[in-house]
Amino acid sequence: MHRRSLLAGAAFALAIGSASAAAQQRTEVTFWYGLGGALGERVQEQVDRFNRSQDRFRVNATFRGSYVEVMTGAIAAWRAGNPPHIAQVFEVGTATMMAAGPAIKPVHELFREAGVDIDPKRYLAGVRGYYSDTQGRLVSMPHNSSSALMWVNLDAFEKAGIRDIPRTWREVREAAQKLKAANATPCVMTTTWPTWVLFEQQSAIHDVGLATKANGFEGMDAELQLTHPFFLKHIQFIADLQREGLFRYGGRDNAAGNLFPSGECAISFGSSAARAQIERDAKFRWASVPLPYHDDFIQSPRNGVIGGASLWVLTARNRTPAEYAAIAAFFEFISRPEEDAWWHQVTGYVPLTTAAYEKSKAEGFYERNPGADAAIIQLSRAEPTPNSQGFRLGGMVEIRNIIQEELEKVFQGQQTVAQALEAANRRGNQVLRNFERANRS
Amino acid sequence: MRKKVIFPQIGLPYLLLLPQLAITVVFFFLPAGQAIWFSFLRQDAFGIRTEFVGFENFVELFQDPLYRESIWITLVFSFWVTLLAMSVALGLAVFADRQIRGATAYKTLLIWPYAIAPAVAAVLWIFIFHPQIGLLGRFLNGIGIRWDYKLNGTQALITVIIASAWKQVSYNFLFFLAGLQSIPRSVLEAAAIDGASPARRFWTVVFPLLSPTTFFLLVINLTYAFFDTFGVIDALTKGGPAKATTTLIYRAYIDGRVNLDLGSSSAQSVVLMLAVIALTALQFRFIERKVHY
């Protein structure tokens, strides 16, 4: 309240003193994001363009630390009654945000009230599905979405005499053996984001649910099914690779992020948004291709799922319709084909809209940057099934860490794969039950 | 008899104390009170739905084998951090207390680490311990010792213990140095004239006279190890591999801030608070008797 009357006072004073009164009466909204470095600069650039493109609204974007810090900060601010208008929340926070009821304003509602007419079909299916409710209405605004890819060092492949880039896990194993025999790189293979890549992506590609109830989309009473034979098979496969010295565990989350661009490991799995970093740092020829699959489990792999973050509209007691209109206008702006195509091309995130994908194609972006469309192909190569549309599991951050912890015990040789999956399943389900209980209305 | 300062009115001393009291209440008692209250609740992240659950958060905590494991890890961790930080600091202080050329420069350098933020300190340690990019890590792997603190729990614990202890050495060093400098020279000279060797002089004269400092630092270091080390752990190991470096404070931080489970996190804070209160009380009760002022 105070701040607003102060702002109004300041605007009044300026209106007297200057001719640009109209510019001062812009409706201001705050936007907290969690992308640092070059990606954060791109966010600011786009916000600046939005502010210049019209004179009714102004978005004030601030970098608030990591994804976790943005989310906890925004939640704490909401509890204190003064949240940002827009908060960027990573995909694993989706269920927590969706369960927040009065704290958030669903995007479809925002658009309807602001009179912005956006067809949800405009967004890529793999992106839209993750952030929609069961009726297919957008709840949060897609913003930066990536998918996991396989990155390969072509110089190392050549040294090992490998001609074709592997498409299946069987071929990956053969390639890894050749790489090791040729001693092409100090480390053969690693992965970033172990849970996201080895569990979430692989379960979607192989059409196996990570959890029941369509991975939580159909209700909070979903249960993890990490003991499913597929996970047993796949994690055993990875554990065997590690035992044979073909796979190196590089740490949690993005801790292994430097192992590929530095030339240490010849194969890595990770986010398509790592493209900018790899382009800058890698001193060798490389390629990015869709993730491998087990051809003895599925003949034609399904679509992968996205990672990244979306934008959530937070409510507050003193929000005005003008503020919501400003948010809607900003969301409409970043969904325009030219804006979206720009975002996709400069960041390595997938385009949010089909139009931006078509535009990038027409501009010849993928011919100039081979592999830049691998993530899009992987996301849209099949119609999403209940197992591959995404995850809506409460406490997903914690579940991811639990899986990483149990995996680490496998890689240490402290427990078998079956024991790890059983423990992760039990501990993860406990998290789901706690979440269900805390969010029961 | 101590001389007492007598204030004419009763109000003035309280008025003078008010700023400090206000800070203590706002920044210590209120949050602590809130933590106690929250530890009896179960809430969603936004605090929209709140349920009073009594001691359930505590019961769940102690039924969790991983929590019991992290109690043990915390004890091992705190013991080694305290021992390392204090013994290294004492050794350095004894050496810096001598008449040497450039003593001020040494002292300044030794105090430096205290001014470094935990996250920055952790990055420095990564450059030493990291199996691929760290100096020591590469060296160890080069001579055939499989060093990888990302997969070896013991090595991870050693890494965070060293990094945490290093941060605290400066602080201890300052206090030990001040303590050493306040020991009267005459006592030491008398001992020397009686023919006591330097080692004997240290253990029979210096060390007992340092005991108030040592005792103070023991309390401070244990509190540091219990409460103030999650920054280093977060930046170096994130509590892993598995749960090998998840101490009680790190778990409280993760459950509260990352997993957004305020009830459990508050219960853990309360347990920690009680533990440190008990520990400090015990120390005052038993160890202080051996302290010479």
pLDDT tens, position by position, for chain B (293 residues)? 455 667 677 788 888 899 999 999 999 899 999 999 999 998 888 888 888 999 999 999 999 999 999 999 999 999 999 999 999 999 999 888 877 777 788 888 888 888 888 778 888 888 999 888 889 988 998 888 888 888 899 999 999 999 999 989 999 999 999 999 888 888 888 888 988 888 888 888 888 888 888 988 998 899 899 888 888 898 888 888 989 999 999 999 999 988 888 999 999 999 998 988 888 888 888 777 766 66
Q: What is the pLDDT of residue A24?
A: 59
pLDDT at B1: 47
From the list A406, A434, A438, the residue facing B49 with the nearest CB is A438
* A79 and B CB contact within 8 Å: yes
Yes or no: say if A74 and A107 are a contact pair by the CB < 8 Å rule. no
Query: Is the Cβ of A200 closer than 8 Å to some Cβ of chain B?
Result: no
Question: Are A68 and B259 within 8 A, CB to CB?
Answer: no
Does residue A406 sit at the B interface (CB-CB below 8 Å)?
yes
Q: Cis before residue B241, ω within 30 degrees of 0? A: yes
pLDDT number for residue A359 = 94
Residues 159-198 in A contacting B (C-alpha not used; CB under 8 Å): 186
Smallest CA-to-CA distance from B239 within B222, B258, B219, B264 is with: B258
Rounded to the nearest 5°, which phi and psi values hold at A187? -130, 140
Residues from chain A that touch B153, judged by Cβ atoms under 8 A, are: 412
What three-state secondary structure class fits A85?
A: coil
DSSP helix/strand/coil, B199? helix
What's the CA gap between A290 and A304, in Å, rounded?
9
Across the interface, do B260 and A96 touch by the CB < 8 Å criterion? yes
Neighbours of A278 (CB within 10 A): 17
Q: What percent of chain A stands above pLDDT 90?
A: 73
**Residue A397 at interface with chain B, using a CB cutoff of 8 Å:** yes
Closest chain B C-alpha to A375 CA, distance in angstroms: 28
The pLDDT value given to residue B185: 86
Give A322-340 pLDDT, tens digit per residue. 999 999 999 999 999 999 9
Give the helix, strand, coil percentages of chain B, each rounded to 5. 75, 0, 25
CB-nearest to A405 from B152, B243, B257 is B243
Asked if A405's CB is within 8 angstroms of B260's CB, the reply is: no
pLDDT digits (tens, 9 = 90+) for A273-286: 888 889 889 999 99
Query: Cβ A405–B259 below 8 Å, yes or no?
Result: no
Contacts of B259 in chain A (CB under 8 A): 395, 397-398, 431
- Which of the 8 DSSP states describes residue A162? -
The sign of the dihedral angle between the CA atoms of A96, A98, A103, A104 is positive
Q: How buried is A5 (Cβ within 10 angstroms: 0-12 exposed, 13-18 middle, 19+ buried)?
A: exposed
The answer, as to whether pTM is greater than 0.80, is yes
Q: Is the dihedral of CA A372, A373, A376, A378 positive or negative?
A: negative
Report pLDDT for B284. 81
A398·B258 Cβ contact <8 A: yes
The stretches in chain A having pLDDT less than 70 are: 1-24, 441
Q: How far is CA A87 from CA A43, A256, B46, in A?
A: 13, 28, 14
Top residue of B44, B51, B233, B250 to mutate, by most chain A CBs within 10 Å, is B44
For chain A, the C-alpha Rg in angstroms (whole number) is: 23
Q: Which of residues 333-352 of A touch B (CB under 8 A)?
A: none
**DSSP for residue A295:** T
Residues of B in contact with A100 (CB under 8 A): 44-46, 48
Distance CA B10, CA B27 (A): 26
